[in-house]
Structure formats: structure tokens, C-alpha cells
């Protein structure tokens, strides 16, 4: 039995996004912002860059076009959202892309 390895169980909280996870936001923000911003944040993948203790998340989007001069800074540098605003998340970007494409084509 000297060849058996013991593995430590690594418990990971997968019920909430962590820093570095990729996310898709839902349209709960729809009533506050114009249509172009809502379309952008619900059809593009963001990444969690900060998670606060009270489950607020700072989401950063890459390659943001100039949509609205009032919100460009927030989209490019971080968009603060609640957990309820996150539709789907994963630490694997490919899974998020599959989810996004399946919703786009109603699969």
C-alpha cells in the first residue's frame, strides 16, 4: 500500500462567480440604460475582476465600442452588478461561449 497517493479534496464554491470567472449578464438592467448598452452587456462575455463581501461584482468587458459617452468608462473599466444580474457564469470561457451561442440561436 505504499504506492497509494492521498489526494486533498479541493472544495470550490461553484454556486457563485469568483474573480476571473467569465459571465453573461441578463437584462434586469434594461429599465435603466439605453437599448445599445443593454444589448451589448447581454450579448457579450465579461469577466469578474472584483467580488465584494456583499456579493456585488465588478465586471469588465473587452473590446468595447463607443456606445454612449456617459457609460463608456464604466463598460471599459468595470460594471458593478449584483448576483441577480448574472445570467450564466463559468471559469471556462468556452462554456460561456457555448451558452451564449445556444441562446443566440435558440438551441
Q: pLDDT digit string (tens) for 57-71?
A: 999 888 777 776 666
How many CB atoms within 10 Å of residue 17? Answer: 22
Residues 6+ apart with CB under 8 A from 20: 47, 48, 91
Q: pLDDT digit string (tens) for 23-74?
A: 998 876 555 667 777 788 888 899 999 998 888 999 988 877 777 666 666 6
Q: Is the dihedral of CA 12, 17, 21, 22 positive or negative?
A: positive
pTM of this prediction? 0.77
**Measured between alpha carbons, how far is 81 from 107 in angstroms, rounded to an integer?**
27
DSSP readout, 85-96?
Answer: GEEEEES-HHHH
Amino acid at each position: 500500500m505504499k504506492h497509494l497517493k492521498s489526494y486533498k479534496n479541493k472544495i470550490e464554491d461553484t454556486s457563485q462567480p469568483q474573480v476571473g470567472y467569465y459571465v453573461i449578464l441578463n437584462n434586469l438592467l434594461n429599465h435603466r440604460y439605453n437599448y445599445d448598452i443593454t444589448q451589448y452587456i447581454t450579448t457579450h462575455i465579461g469577466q469578474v475582476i472584483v467580488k465584494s463581501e456583499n456579493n456585488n461584482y465588478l465586471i469588465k468587458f473587452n473590446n468595447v465600442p463607443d456606445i454612449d459617452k456617459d457609460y463608456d468608462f464604466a463598460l471599459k473599466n468595470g460594471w458593478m452588478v449584483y448576483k441577480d444580474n448574472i445570467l450564466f457564469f463559468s471559469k471556462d470561457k468556452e462554456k460561456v461561449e457555448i451558452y451564449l451561442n445556444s441562446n443566440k440561436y435558440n438551441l
